[in-house]
Each structure stands twice: as C-alpha cells, then as structure tokens.
Structure 1
C-alpha cells in the first residue's frame, strides 16, 4: 500500500511541473488561443487531448522500455542528469519570467498559422517541441522512474496532477480568450513563474543530493 502522503506529493509535483511548463508562452498556447478565437472555449480541451496522447506514448515508452532494462548505475545517472536539467529549467523560467509575462500573446497567437484541427494542433505542437522531448527523456523520466519505485499508483498520481494542470490551464486560456479577455495580469503571471521556477530549481537540487537513494531502491 502506497502511503497517502506519497500520492499527494506525486500529485502536487505533477501539477507544479505541468503548470510551470504551461505558463511559458509557446506554440501550444498560441495554437490554443488562435483556435479559441475562432471556435470558442472548448478549443483548450481538444488541444489538450492531442497533447496528452503524445505524452501518454512517452510515458509508456519510459515505463515499458526503460524499467525492464534499468540498472543501479543507470538509475543514478538518470537522477543526476534529471536533477541538472530540472535545476537549469528552473533557472531559465526565473530568468525569462519578466519577458514571458509581458509577451504580446494575442498578437503572437493571431500570427500563428493554424492549418489543422485542435486535436492535431495539440499533437503537432507537442511532437515538434524539442523542450518537451528533452524534458521527458531526462528530468521527466527520472521522476517517473522514482515514482514507479514507490508504486504504479504513484506514477498515476503524478500523471494525473500533470494532466490536471495542462487541461485546466489550456481550458482557462481558451475560455478567457474566446471572450476577448486576458487570463491573468502580466504582474501575476511573472510572480507565478518565479514561484514555479524556484520550485523546479529546488527540486532539481534535491534530486542531485539524493540520487544514491534512488539507486538503492532497485
């Protein structure tokens, strides 16, 4: 039986990582806004479904492929690389918070060429996002493997938290912009990015300091 505190930790971690990535303006956000301006508030849910399909495939590859051949030295290696990447991502988010919060999102979204449906847009903007792939191959895989050592239900809690953040944010974006309103003020956006970036940097350091604990679990 997985302790409830471990499930809560996995859920919160998944949510925080999800919202940290979602708040950085990028192709998926621009696609969501552009589609919502034309098709209404449901666009966020459709874009998320495409994004979730891509991530589900990545999760399955990590669990079915890596877990079956992973060894003690490899766990330590993944934890170290994952910690470094998480720490650097946190610093990047902090450094770019002010600029990201002040991005002219409406202007960028209307210039974003959307030639496919919302589900396809979610798939394409995910597959062609090198940051997403790098994240899940390093820090993301380290986190998933760590949760897997606790139990598959912990992995499910992490994924659930991550997808709640993704779906909730994209739905909030499409609902807000379909009505011609800005989701949050630039100042609030900036503050949230600082908090999320700090969380990721701290958790990355924790990974680096505890990588031996991960290898001892297998």
Structure 2
C-alpha cells in the first residue's frame, strides 16, 4: 500500500514539475482564466495536457528522441512555436479590455495551449530528462525507494493527476482574484502578452541557431 501511494505521489510531483513552472502555457491559462472564466482556463490547461499525453505516446514509441536528434525538424517546429507566441501575444493584448464575467469553456484556449505545447522545445527536453521516469521507472529514486519496485501504471496515473490538479487550482485561484479585482483581468492579459513575446523571441532565436540562420 505504501509503495503504491509513493508511486502516485512521485508521479504527481513529476506532473507538477512540468505544469507549474512559469511559461507560455501558464500565460495562456492565466489569460483565459481571468478574461473568460475558470472553464476557459481549464480548457486551455487540457490543451497543454493533451499535448503531454501525445508526447508520452511519442516518447514510448521513441519519436521524441528522434525529434530531438533531427535539428532541421526541431528548428522548424520551434520557429513555428515562436511565431505562434507572437500571434497569441497580440491577441492577449488586444483583448485585454474584454474582461468577461461569464465562465464559458474556450475551444480557442484549448487550441492555443495545445499548439504552443507541441512546438515547445522545453517540453520535448523535459520528456527526454525528467519524463524518463515514466518510461524507465528504474532510473529514478524517491523517498529511498526505487521506481523499479513501484507500480509504473500508478506512477503514470499520478503524473497526469498532478497536471489535472494544477490546471484545476491555478485557473480557480486566478478567477477568484479576478472576481475581487476586475482590473486584474487587464493586468494578466498584458502580463501574458509580455511572457509570450519573451518566449517567442527565445523560440525564434533557438530556431535560428538550430537552423544555422543566426
């Protein structure tokens, strides 16, 4: 029982290590949450999580490593991601004053987060490093126990449970604050735009270096 619990907890911590750090996906989730409601933010989070599920399947098939070892393909993907970030940053700033008191789901937010996630080089790198714990449990130790002795299925379940926890709580916290201070919607929108522009520049620089343009 203890080993099973540790498997779930360790998997959840891996999930949070991917979902919680500040970045373009959380910028999109924040913008959707504050300006369009909790369900919109949650939908954006689901978009990012769907990309992680896809990366998990590709990692199992060995294709994530193939993408990482194919500089031209990786450079093109990263470049597309950079351009998308500029486009979404423009949308965030343009809609900064369109705070909505509603709480509707947003297909656009799902699509934005998914598109950014599948073109995110850091996401690919995560799956080649920390994510290896899901593919090779014997390579990671936690709480004095080897993952080899744990239930791999429970670890994977814990991983996605950790992501679900984040994309549930993070939008709710932002939405609660937004309801108290309407001006937060505009601030989050502008802040999300800045974050997306910053990562857009970083992505395009990465793409240019990979493709030998810079």
Same fold (TM over 0.5): yes
1:206 lines up with 2:202 in the alignment: yes
Which consecutive residues of structure 2, in runs of 5 or more, have no partner in the other structure? Answer: 1-16, 135-155
Equivalence map 1:161-200=2 (5 Å): 166-172=167-173, 183-200=179-196
- Distance (whole Å) between structure 2 residues aligned to residue 172 and residue 89 of structure 1: 23
Scaled by the length of structure 1, the TM-score of the pair is: 0.56
Kindly report structure 1 stretches of 4+ aligned residues shifted beyond 6 Å.
7-10, 50-54, 153-156, 159-162
Find the counterpart in structure 2 of residue 58 from structure 1. Answer: 51
Equivalence map 1:7-156=2 (5 Å): 11-13=21-23, 15-25=26-36, 28-29=39-40, 55-65=48-58, 66-67=63-64, 69-70=66-67, 71-99=70-98, 101=99, 103=100, 105=101, 108-109=102-103, 125=105, 129-136=107-114, 138-143=115-120, 144-152=123-131
Scaled by the length of structure 2, the TM-score of the pair is: 0.56
Q: What do you get for the CA RMSD once the two structures are aligned? A: 4.2
1:195-217 residue CA offsets vs partner (Å, 9 max, x unmatched): 1211111111111012255679x
2:72 and 2:211 in contact (8 A); partners too: yes
1:11 and 1:162 in contact (8 A); partners too: no
1:161 CA drift (Å): 9.3
- Distance (whole Å) between structure 2 residues aligned to residue 202 and residue 76 of structure 1: 18
**For residues 196 and 57 of structure 1, do their structure 2 counterparts lie closer, same or farther at Cα, with a shift above 3 Å needed?**
closer
- Name which structure has the greater RCO, CA cutoff 8 Å, separation 6+: 1
**Number of aligned positions between the proteins:** 163
Specify the SS of the correspondent of 1:98.
coil
